[in-house]
């Protein structure tokens, strides 16, 4: 299945902004994060198709997975 991965802010450094991956059925968010080499502790917000999600969520054909690092500022 094809899933689009979008990385934001510091997660893009040394990686990519947007990529499409071919993944086996029943792949979970945690599997993708491991596959692309992002440490789990660097991911604090996860969205699938614009809806808040978590590490254990299962992905489906055509999903858009967006990963965000901790939000800072003041």
**Domain residue spans in the chain?**
2-68
Instruction: Give the confidence band of 22 by pLDDT, cuts at 50, 70, 90.
Output: very high
Instruction: Give the confidence band of 71 by pLDDT, cuts at 50, 70, 90.
Output: confident
Q: What is the mean pLDDT of residues 35-54?
A: 97
Nearest alpha-carbon partner for 4 in 66, 69, 46, 55:
66
Is domain 2-68 given the CATH code 3.10.20.30 in the classification? Answer: yes
Q: 3-class SS at 61?
A: coil
Q: What is the mean pLDDT of residues 42-54?
A: 98
DSSP states along 4-30: EEEE-GGGGTTS-SEEEEE--TT-BHH
Q: Is the pLDDT of residue 57 over 70?
A: yes
Q: pTM of the entire structure?
A: 0.93
Instruction: Give the confidence band of 72 by pLDDT, cuts at 50, 70, 90.
Output: confident
Q: How many CB atoms lie within 10 A of CB 20?
A: 10
* 37 in Cβ contact with 63 (< 8 Å): no
């Amino acid at each position: 299945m094809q899933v689009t991965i979008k990385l934001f802010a510091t997660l893009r450094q040394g990686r990519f902004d947007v990529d499409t991956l071919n993944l086996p059925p029943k792949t979970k968010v945690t599997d993708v994060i491991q596959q692309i080499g992002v440490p789990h502790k660097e991911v604090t917000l996860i969205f699938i198709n614009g809806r808040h999600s978590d590490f254990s969520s299962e992905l489906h054909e055509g999903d858009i997975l967006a990963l965000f690092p901790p939000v800072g500022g003041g």
